[in-house]
Amino acid sequence: MSEQKLKPGESELTRRQLLKVAFAGTTLAASGLALANWLETPTLSATTFIGKAASYNHNLVSVLLAGFQELGVNPQEVKGKRILLKPNLVETKQNAPHINTHPLVVRAVAEAFLHLGAAAVMVGEGPGHRRDTLQILEEAGLADVLYEDRIPFLNLNDRTGFSRPNAGQQTSLPTLIFPDIFQEIDWVVSIAKLKTHHWAGVTLSMKNLFGVLPGLYYGWPKNVLHHAGIHESIVDITATLRPHFAIVDGIIGMEGDGPIMGTPKSAGVIVMGRNLPAVDATSARLMGINPHKIPYLQRSSNWLGPIHEHHIHQRGEAIVALQQNFNLLEKVSAHHGIRLS
């Protein structure tokens, strides 16, 4: 066959573009993004920070402030801001620090933001598994911390909502309903837990956002979102809300049958960053899990943020020094094939 010559105005794909196309097949199929548009999309980058903390008695504020400094979060940016912290509260069980975001992490995050000059810090959560939010708050030990520190708590499940157009368009939901308080705050901070998940593979800062949508509208356990598609809903919420910061409590995480029935895993880390997909990709690698095998992360790749390791600038500790293989279960289909090779 003779070589076909290009007509005037046509151009060949560069080697870099060809490699990009080959790497991106599944992402394009999932997102529906046109090839021509995707080729012109700049490669996203982000910075994450990993800090070490052997226990919850560690000086966590110092770890967080070091992370803020590395990530460029300074007093000029935070001064006067109203900050909402969204921890992960799922279930209560005595002496189970692997299930919920630890109260001492929430306290340290609040102190760190106030230290930088935040005008107000509040905690909000709308658990999807248990209807009695205040019971979870008390039994998880967070109520005492918030009372001692005079930090207000907002039950997001029963608040009146307002709607925003669904910016993600991964589900058929035309709009998403957020609590009214979100119209008054400046920063939303997801404070997640480092855990495996029996439906999503992993649950980190993006999955943690299920709890910002009021159960008053979405039911229990946020059934509307489950029916619409878990991975798709995670992407839609993140794309529409656009949280400002993420912190993952990995001091004691959970492996196995998460997010409730798994077993504790001491990882000794706190992961931080401005970009949620990048933070979750870094967290997954610390768990020995390939973020490209997690559907909601793969759907987010180079759209909501970078998940490729070469596009994430790592600050603080190195991943390789702290990486552990979290236990994955053969009986859980979401765990199949996600191990980082």
Q: In terms of Cα–Cα distance, which of 89, 152, 159 is closest to 123?
A: 152
The values of phi and psi at residue 40, to 5°, are -90, -5
What distance in Å separates the CA atoms of residue 239 and residue 166, rounded to the nearest whole number?
A: 8
Q: From the DSSP assignment, how many helices (H) and strands (E) are in the chain?
A: 13, 11
The values of phi and psi at residue 301, to 5°, are -60, 125
Which token pair is 260? 């409730």
Task: Give the pLDDT confidence of 169-179 residue by residue, as tens digits.
Answer: 999 999 999 99
Report yes or no: 284 and 321 within 8 Å, Cβ to Cβ.
no
Average of per-residue pLDDT across 19-43: 55
The radius of gyration of the chain from alpha carbons, rounded to an integer in Å, stands at: 20
Task: Give the pLDDT confidence of 119-166 residue by residue, as tens digits.
Answer: 999 999 999 877 788 888 998 999 999 999 999 999 999 999 999 999
Task: Give the pLDDT confidence of 253-298 residue by residue, as tens digits.
Answer: 999 999 999 999 999 999 999 999 999 999 999 999 999 999 999 9
What distance in Å separates the CA atoms of residue 79 and residue 309, rounded to the nearest whole number?
A: 32
What distance in Å separates the CA atoms of residue 160 and residue 198, rounded to the nearest whole number?
A: 31
Instruction: For residue 92, name the pLDDT band (cuts at 50, 70, 90).
Output: confident
In degrees, rounded to 5, the angle at the alpha carbon of residue 92 between the alpha carbons of residues 90 and 96 is: 100
Instruction: Provide the greatest CA pair distance for the chain.
Output: 80
Query: What are the structural domains, with CATH classification, of the chain?
Result: 14-43 (no CATH), 46-335 (3.40.50)
What distance in Å separates the CA atoms of residue 316 and residue 324, rounded to the nearest whole number?
A: 17
Number of Cβ atoms within 10 Å of the Cβ of 210? 22
What distance in Å separates the CA atoms of residue 217 and residue 178, rounded to the nearest whole number?
A: 9
